C-alpha cells in the first residue's frame, strides 16, 4: 500500500472568491471533508492597475499554468481543480470524497468529467458571481441547452439517490464540481425544476457555502466586465 506522505500541510491557492468558479471546487470539497489547509488568494489581474498589483501579476508568476486553483503538498504542485480533487481522494481515502458504491462512483466521475469539459456557453455567458443580486438574464438557446442538461443530470441522480446531495447524504466531488453552477442558476435566475431548486438550497445552506460567500463579498476587487454579464 502506498505510504502516506510525511508532510500533511496542504496549501491551496485560489482566485477571487467572487468570480473564481474553479477555485470554489477544491475549496468547498476540503471544507466539507474537514481537511485542514491554508488558503492564499492570488487575485486576477483584470482591472487592477493599482500600485499593489503593478508589474507582472502574481497569477502569471506563481501558478505553473498561470491559472488557479493550485494545490501544494509535500513538494508537489497540483494544478487543475479536478486533478486536485482526485489527489485529495487518493490522499484521504477514508473521507468518502467519491461515493463508496462502484456504480455510483462511475456516474459521479462521468458527470464530473462532463462538467469539467462541457457547458462552455453557460460558463461564458453566465460567469460565477457571488455578489450578483439574483436577476433574470435572457440567455441564448445554447445556454438553455446547457441549463436543461444540468437540470436533467441533477434530477436523475437526486431521484436515484434520494439526495440531499447528488450521491446521498455525503457531499462528494461531484457536488464540488457543480457548486459554481448553483451560483450561476441562482444569480442569473435560470429556469429550473423543483428538484434542482431543492438541491441548490441544500448547497447554499451549507456553512461552507456561506463562509465562501461572506469572504467573497468582503473582497475589494470588482471587475466590471464580470459584473456586466
Residues lying near ligand GSH in the complex (CB under 6 A): 15, 20-23, 44, 59, 67-69, 80-82
- Separation between Cα atoms, residue 118 and residue 112, nearest integer Å: 10
Backbone angles phi, psi at 71, to 5 degrees: -110, 135
Task: Name the minimum Å distance from CB 184 to ligand GSH.
Answer: 13
Nearer to ligand GSH, 99 or 127 (CB): 127
Measured in Å, how far apart are the chain's first and last C-alpha atoms?
Answer: 49
Q: Minimum Å distance from CB 103 to ligand GSH?
A: 26
Cell (9 digits) for 105 = 462512483
Q: Which of 200, 189, 226, 186 is nearest to 15 (CA)?
A: 226
Residue nearest to ligand GSH (CB): 67
In the complex, minimum distance from the CB of residue 83 to ligand GSH, in angstroms, rounded to a whole number: 8
Q: CB of residue 56 vs ligand GSH: minimum separation in angstroms?
A: 12
DSSP assignment, residue 132?
A: P
Minimum CB distance to ligand GSH smaller for 5 or for 47:
47
* Pair 151, 181: CB distance under 8 Å: no
Q: For residues 20 and 104, which CB has a smaller minimum distance to ligand GSH in the complex?
A: 20
CA–CA gap between residue 47 and residue 143 (Å, rounded): 27
Nearer to ligand GSH, 63 or 168 (CB): 63
Least distance to ligand GSH from the beta carbon of 112, Å? Answer: 11
Q: Angle 141-161/102-117 helices, nearest 10 degrees?
A: 170
Nearer to ligand GSH, 32 or 68 (CB): 68
Amino acid at each position: 500500500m502506498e505510504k502516506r506522505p510525511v508532510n500533511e500541510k496542504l496549501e491551496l491557492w485560489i482566485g477571487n472568491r467572487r468570480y473564481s468558479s474553479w477555485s470554489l471546487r477544491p475549496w468547498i470539497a476540503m471544507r466539507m471533508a474537514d481537511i485542514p489547509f491554508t488558503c492564499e488568494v492570488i487575485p486576477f489581474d483584470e482591472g487592477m492597475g493599482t500600485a499593489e498589483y503593478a508589474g507582472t501579476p502574481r497569477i502569471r508568476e506563481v501558478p505553473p499554468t498561470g491559472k488557479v486553483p493550485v494545490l501544494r503538498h509535500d513538494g508537489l504542485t497540483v494544478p487543475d481543480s479536478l486533478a486536485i480533487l482526485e489527489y485529495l481522494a487518493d490522499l484521504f481515502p477514508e473521507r468518502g470524497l467519491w461515493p463508496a458504491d462502484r456504480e455510483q462512483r462511475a456516474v459521479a466521475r462521468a458527470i464530473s468529467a462532463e462538467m469539467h469539459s462541457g457547458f462552455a456557453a453557460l460558463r461564458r455567458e453566465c460567469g460565477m458571481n457571488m455578489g450578483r443580486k439574483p436577476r433574470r438574464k435572457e440567455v441564448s438557446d445554447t445556454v438553455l441547452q446547457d441549463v436543461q442538461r444540468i437540470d436533467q443530470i441533477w434530477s436523475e441522480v437526486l431521484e436515484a439517490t434520494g439526495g440531499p446531495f447528488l450521491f446521498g447524504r455525503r457531499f462528494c466531488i461531484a457536488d464540488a464540481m457543480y457548486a459554481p453552477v448553483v451560483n450561476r442558476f441562482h444569480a442569473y435566475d435560470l429556469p429550473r425544476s423543483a428538484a434542482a431548486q431543492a438541491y441548490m438550497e441544500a448547497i447554499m445552506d451549507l456553512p461552507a457555502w456561506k463562509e465562501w460567500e461572506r469572504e467573497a463579498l468582503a473582497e475589494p476587487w470588482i471587475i466590471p466586465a464580470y459584473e456586466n454579464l
